Amino acid sequence: MDPRRTIVLATRNPGKIRELREVLGALGLSVAGLEAHGDIPEPPETGETFAANARDKAAYYARATGQWCLADDSGLVVDALGGEPGVHSARYAADRCPAGAGRDVIDAANNARLLAELRDVADARRTARFVCHLALSDGRRILVEACDSVEGRIGHEPRGHNGFGYDPLFYLPELGCTTAELPSEKKNALSHRGKALRHFARLLADYLKNA
């Protein structure tokens, strides 16, 4: 099989796989998750930027699977906190959770820490953005990459249930709601991952034409 016809996504998250399958399917590509390749150990995330982590993960899993691999690294950047939690977004408060805690428990702890850090920060200084960087590797080099973001502000309390991570705190002033209060279709249309994915798909289409 031509390795370019299947792209392995560096995640076991079914939601991410479904989203990518919908977008990349239009290019004649199939998307597979890591579960099809056995129990591959996760690589350490040591990069200081979203781009570095995405590139490292893509190359690592491409070498481990022998196929093109697409990885993303994404998170929340809060201006008043000097860019934190940044690349540590998913584990911002993991040390405050019991061993083996599930994603919901860790998300709640992350949100609680973020609110505590911003307790005395005025609305005008609570500006933030979600960032997503996508990178595709064949194991030797990065073939295509794209990055995008969405601007917002950190609220004072969680609102909404249609989301995960920091969505209940990420307020969109122009819409008057958090990303967790948006219906899925609208959230995906304006999300950092959705925007980066559409940008990536255009670049990948051009790459495949010239490969």
Which residue among the candidates 2, 56, 72, 73 is catalytic per the annotation? 73
Instruction: Return d(Cα 140, Cα 163) in angstroms, integer.
Output: 35
Look up the pTM and report it: 0.89
Split at pLDDT 50, 70, 90, the class of 58 is: very high
Q: Which residue has the higher pLDDT, 37 or 125?
A: 125
Instruction: Report percent pLDDT > 70 for the chain.
Output: 98
Average per-residue pLDDT in the chain?
90
Task: Give the confidence band of 1 by pLDDT, cuts at 50, 70, 90.
Answer: very low
Q: Which of 209, 54, 12, 210 is nearest to 142 (CA)?
A: 54
Q: Backbone phi, then psi, for 9, in 5-degree steps?
A: -95, 130
* 73 is an active site residue: yes
For residue range 62-106, list pLDDT tens digits in order.
999 999 999 999 999 999 999 999 999 989 998 898 888 888 899
Q: Token pair 């005025």 is at which residue?
A: 122
Residue 146 DSSP symbol: E
Residues 173-191 have a mean pLDDT of: 91
User: So what CATH class is 3-210?
Assistant: alpha beta
Q: Which of the residue ranges 3-12, 75-84, 138-147, 156-165 would you say has the lowest mean pLDDT?
A: 3-12
Position 4 pLDDT exceeds 60:
no
β pairing state of 177-178 and 6-9: unpaired
Q: How far is CA 67 from the centre of its chain?
A: 21
**pLDDT tens for each residue of 14-35:** 767 777 777 777 777 888 888 8
